[in-house]
A = this chain, B = another copy of it.
Amino acid sequence: MSSGVKQRLSEFYSTISDDLDRSVEFWLKHSVDEEQGGFFQCLDADGEVYDTTKYTWLLSRQVWTFARLYQDMDRFRLPNILEVAKKGAEFVMKHVKNPENSKCYFSLTREGQPIKIQRTIFSECFYVLAMSEMYRVLKEDIYKKEAMAMMKQIVHWVRVDNSGLGIPLVPPKATSSLGVPMMLLCLIDQMETMDPAHGANFNDLADWCIARVLKHVQRNGTVVLETVSEDGEEVGGSAGRLMNPGHVIEAGWFLLERAGKSGNEELQKTALETFMLEAFHRGWDTEHGGILYFVDVDGRPPAQLEWDMKLWWPHNEAMIAFLKAYKHTSDEKYLEKFAQVFDYSYQHFADTQKGEWFGYLSREGQVKINAKGGPWKGCFHVPRSLMMCEQLLHEILQTQ
């Protein structure tokens, strides 16, 4: 490693570490609902609440974030960090899950009354994240029991019978969505982190997930589509040509993790070249910078009005992915990509004055939603990315 690279890595480390402090401070100060429990997510640029609806994906993810900060980072091993995680977990256990059928709600009133349910597994997956991380911290069996039971339920819905998720008025054609096996890979990693004694328990499920994710690679590895048929064929139409580059890059680092654990070199190559580099190549906006939200792989008109916006989370995921890739390979081309995403993000997303990132920019890079949180953005992608990048940078700098 040249001294120039080392210098740059130290600068990344310092910027990211400061930014993580600001992000945690922001959520600590503004999101906690002292009166009713749980967290507010709809926070404007200054942190003021503009809607009291509580979104369960984000409630559970914030519990995970605070629990992990406490558990894994010395400077956040503080009573107030633990307190926020515990009180959040209490609200989640009390209000998020319907105990009759284990289905989790999508949104709640401030007081915790259900507003909406989705016919997907994601509210449930984030419930597992929250519970399993709380078990890591507190070693109280109730959390582990909740995490294990919900994990089992999710696998049943995905692999055996999905009728418990609620059947739509017209049953949809069976297709494969990239998000489902990706999410399960994330959960497997989490379950193994919660309890290393799991050993090979999840290997079969992990293999199933990897095979499933790889079905989405099409056209000789040049595209990774969001939706394909059960048989791994293109389904056509706008939905069938849709690619979400940030999502694919995120899948890239999930696969890289798995490849590292199992020593699968071919999978590592696919993760790096197809999921990271090809997707980045397709998604990066050469004119204005930043990663496009959606791409029609044939350049046809996208169905999503927001297709050319720059969203925060693909940039968070790309930072993790390229830094992991650099650590695994020591190939500086990955570090260059990391730097490209880092520079764009700190020029456009990060609010270094008031803390946390803005979430939604125009194609040209202007802030379009003047808020730090909303129905889909809470305390998760930014701190998770900063925490992981800080740890990775630390390890890289240590080993040199």
Residue numbers of A with Cβ under 8 A of B are 42, 44, 50-53, 103, 105, 114-117, 119, 166, 168-170, 172, 237-238, 300-303, 305-309, 360, 362-363, 368-371, 374-375
Contact = CB atoms under 8 A, between A and B. Distances in A.
A369 B301 contact: yes
Nearest to A368: B308
A362 B362 CA distance: 9
Given A238-B42, A301-B50, A362-B363, A117 B170 contact: yes
A290 B185 CA distance: 46
27 contacts: A44-B301, A50-B238, A50-B301, A51-B237, A51-B300, A51-B303, A53-B238, A103-B169, A105-B170, A114-B170, A115-B170, A115-B172, A116-B168, A116-B170, A117-B168, A117-B169, A166-B169, A301-B369, A301-B371, A301-B374, A303-B374, A305-B309, A305-B360, A306-B306, A307-B368, A362-B362, A362-B363
A253 to B, nearest CB: 25
A370 B301 contact: yes
A237 B115 CA distance: 13
Contacts of A172: 115
A49 to B, nearest CB: 10
Contact of A305 (B50, B103, B305): B305
Contacts of A308: 368
Q: Which of A50, A237, A371 has the most CB of B within 10 A?
A: A50
A243 to B, nearest CB: 15
A301 B369 CA distance: 6
Given A115-B172, A116-B168, A303-B374, 12 more contacts: A44-B301, A51-B237, A51-B303, A53-B237, A119-B169, A166-B169, A301-B369, A305-B309, A305-B360, A305-B368, A307-B369, A362-B362
Contacts of A52: 237
A80 B370 CA distance: 51
